[in-house]
Structure 1
Amino acid sequence: MTAVLGLVLAAGAMTAQAQDIFNGAKALDYTRQFVAIGPRWNGSPGHAKAEAFLKKQFAHDQLEEDTFTANTAVGPQLMHNFIVRFPGKKKGVIVLATHYETNYPLRNINFVGANDGGATTGLLIELANYLRGHEQDGYSVWLVFFDGEEAVKSWSDSDSLYGSKHLADKWKADGTLPQIKAFLLADMIGDKDLDICRDHNSTQWVLDVVEKAAEHFGYQSYFFQQESMIEDDHLPFVRKGVPVADVIDLDYGYNNSYHHTAEDTMDKLSAKSLTISGDVFLETIHLLDQR
């Protein structure tokens, strides 16, 4: 009797641990719609369609279009960040961010960036469905869609991260940065073979919160088995003292063979990976609200 009861309790605990709260299938569908636009490098017709797609998704929310001119390696380019604000009851902000454009140097190979920019755009659009329509009990949550993450000519400190550099400077100037309790960046986490890296440029305590959120669902095997020092849209905020976590899967295909190739397509993604990622982001917000 005791043994049977123990098995029943164990099974119940496993069921509770594995219960999903985020709809990865819907996030994948948003991704599919977005990626169907095609290449969306800066200045292209696809980029204009991507902007219109984002504006349509958030037409009834607190949406800000942050338009600026970036001095790039190939000359001035007009770029557009998008910020969507969901107010909370506590003073302070949690930022969830991604980039949405595709790589300019790959504009002639039909690079659609399904995982690299597409999947995390779909992820954040679906996350908005959990935030919309009510005041957050904790901190305000802002979704940010960065433009200009990719290099325009060749990756370097001066030729990359145009949108995040601009917004970090803008938010420093207007006093927004001190309000940010944590900055969470999502990148390339729709990969079917999900393996999120521990980034040594991120803030240790924020990574610890993400790890605790993963453990809540029994997802820890998908997180932090590999380590690296990553250059991504979180760096301009790191340099200004904002607590950050870059949640990124850098191992995309065997020996990263799909990254920045025409093989970065929808068939490489899964609803399961987006469910795992979405669950962990929502639980991370919950844990940050309790700090």
Structure 2
Amino acid sequence: MAIAKTNLFLSFSLFLAFNNFVTLAKLPDYALSLAKLNDDNHLEYALSKILIPRVVGSSGHRKVQDFLISELESYGLTVELDRFSERAPIFGNLTFTNIIGKYNPNADEFLAIACHYDSKYFPNNPNFVGAIDSAVPCAIMLNVAKIITPHLSKIKQKSNLGILYIFFDGEEAFKDWSNKDSVYGSRHLAKKMSEKVTATQGTNEIKSDIDRIEVLALLDLIGARNSKFRNFFPNTEALHSLLVNIERNLFDEKQLEGKNFQFLASYSDNFVDDDHRPFLRRDVPILHLISTPFPKQWHKPSDNAANLHWPSIRNFNKVFRLFTYIFVFVHDENVNFRFKNLNANW
């Protein structure tokens, strides 16, 4: 009963904070205009550069790393590298590099958008490319950043909010998934951000970098046919509902392909372990956008370009692009999404 009451309170608070966007009957003109600013050629180009074997330490991994850095810099973002070494099963000591593209890097608070860019190591399948896992999420993040960054400059007076585009390294286990053999990059970055403490410019408040993240939106397993995205955390329910509402509105405006809704207005209490784990343990609010049930090609040789469903990719990309822009556009003051979910099995 206590959990249910708290969830209702948080949903109502966030409903107010986002100026009724959760139940908006019609998207405003500026949002519809942004929905039409597609750059599918760039989306396909970005994916082609990422969709190669990219196991940590390989030449493909370095190529993708260089491409991500170059792209983020070309959008005018400030790029920061979090490079470190750690021992891993099979390979021994490896160098990992998290890549962070920052929009408005001196902001007091941040919307963090993340995915992982490494591909899984399979000893019997060295050509595994991990299309949905997670080349497509990487390409979507780049495409979103490329399209919305010039438009965000029009509302840059909202200096209290920035965006972090985080490309985690080493999400995949090298042998067997465990707390130690998985999410290498996010574990390192979460620890680093929790230890770095500075004063905010707006309020001169002393906060760690991790406490300046309002929400971490993690993208994973995107691009398969009939993918479904549910809400996993009660404190970000309003944000998931915003995605649901944007998708329904775009469908009504005939801005989406097909008739398949990907964002469901349903809650799942199943914890899916992923790069958000180290941030969740430090009370960072999480919006986990992962397809459940997992697509049939997950961790199989069939997770390749031939089995991608491009209408689903383009639709997800458009919905998430509007979500990101609206989050910044309506953000007049810092919103506290933090809430200890006592039922989370992590």
TM-score after normalising by structure 1: 0.83
- Greater strand share, 1 or 2? 1
Where do residues 12-91 of structure 1 align in structure 2 (5 Å cutoff)?
Answer: 20-21=35-36, 23=38, 25=40, 26-35=42-51, 38-60=52-74, 61-74=77-90, 75-87=92-104, 91=108
Partners of 2:123 and 2:43 in 1: CA distance: 25
What is the aligned partner in structure 2 of residue 197 from structure 1? 230
Number of residue pairs matched by the alignment: 270
Partners of 1:121 and 1:27 in 2: CA distance: 10
Change (3 A) 1:193 1:18: farther
Aligned match for 1:222, one of 250, 259, 262: 262
Where do residues 1-291 of structure 1 align in structure 2 (5 Å cutoff)?
Answer: 20-21=35-36, 23=38, 25=40, 26-35=42-51, 38-60=52-74, 61-74=77-90, 75-87=92-104, 91-106=108-123, 108-133=125-150, 135=153, 137=156, 138=158, 139-174=161-196, 175-199=208-232, 203-218=233-248, 221-224=261-264, 227=268, 228-252=270-294, 256-285=295-324, 286-287=326-327, 289=331, 291=335
In the TM superposition, what is the alpha-carbon distance from 1:67 to its structure 2 partner?
A: 0.7
In the TM superposition, what is the alpha-carbon distance from 1:264 to its structure 2 partner?
A: 0.5
**Contact 1:197–1:247 (CA<8 Å) still a contact in 2?**
yes
Where 1:191 maps in the other structure, the secondary structure is coil
Q: Deviations over 1:19-73 (max 9, x none)?
A: 83463733233212321xx211011111111112112212343111211112323
Letter in 1 for 2:122: P
Change (3 A) 1:172 1:59: same
Partners of 1:24 and 1:248 in 2: CA distance: 23
What is the aligned partner in structure 2 of residue 7 from structure 1? none
Where 2:180 maps in the other structure, the secondary structure is coil
In the TM superposition, what is the alpha-carbon distance from 1:250 to its structure 2 partner?
A: 3.5
Partners of 1:280 and 1:207 in 2: CA distance: 17
**Contact 1:39–1:107 (CA<8 Å) still a contact in 2?**
no
Partners of 1:127 and 1:180 in 2: CA distance: 19
Q: Which runs of 5+ in 1 are unaligned?
A: 1-12
Change (3 A) 1:287 1:49: closer
Partners of 2:112 and 2:127 in 1: CA distance: 31
Q: Which runs of 5+ in 2 are unaligned?
A: 1-25, 197-207, 252-259, 336-346
Q: CA RMSD in A?
A: 2.7
Percent identity between the two aligned chains: 25
Where 1:58 maps in the other structure, the secondary structure is helix
Partners of 2:122 and 2:280 in 1: CA distance: 27
